[in-house]
Structure 1
Amino acid sequence: MPLFGNTFSPKKTPPRKSASLSNLHSLDRSTREVDLKFENGQWIAETGISGAVDWREAQRLRRRNQQLEEENSLLRLKVDILLDMLSETTAESHLTEKELDELKSVSRRRK
């Protein structure tokens, strides 16, 4: 048993992944250099009028997006209702055809 031959050498731990809760890391360098403020869950540039115009445009686009999502949801609901109505009408039509065929066969037997 060697006295100094088997030295303790721990394995190196892997580096941690930075799990940032901020979305600043996804911004490009020029945007990060601008003074930013955090409002309503979004980072907004404080660059004066041009930043305010961009912010207003972004707000307008968010509202428009929300309206379109609601319209899309309503249209999907309407399509689902129409498909249900079509299925019901098709089923009724098949039943009517079946009854008509049965009546024809009964009529032929009587003749």
Structure 2
Amino acid sequence: MKVEKKEVEGVKIIKLTGQIRISTQNEFKDLLDNLAKENEGETVIISMDGVIYMNSAGLGIIIDTYKKFKEKKGRMILCNLTPDISKLFEVTRLNRFIEIYGTEAEALSKL
């Protein structure tokens, strides 16, 4: 899994590329745990346009991280989901409580 970090208008944006599967899920969990710890009370946007596969453990990690951000009065926002990953969030109905936007620009405009 490849991770790129940047900051736009004081908001951290994390761009993920690759697959979230058994071989990468520990790395993914560590990444999101660190994001939650380092950005308490802040907003982080996770751009997932490069994620072509995600297993159920990946979904669980996203839910846990979302809860950590919310407990500390922060926001974790997802954007740029591929059609397959977007469908996964729709089928599990996670799109009803996790903020998901079509593009990075749209996510930034909602802050």
TM-score by length of 1: 0.21
TM-score by length of 2: 0.21
User: Which structure has the highest strand share of the two?
Assistant: 2
Higher percent of residues as helix: 1
Point out which structure has higher relative CO (alpha carbons under 8 A, 6+ apart): 2
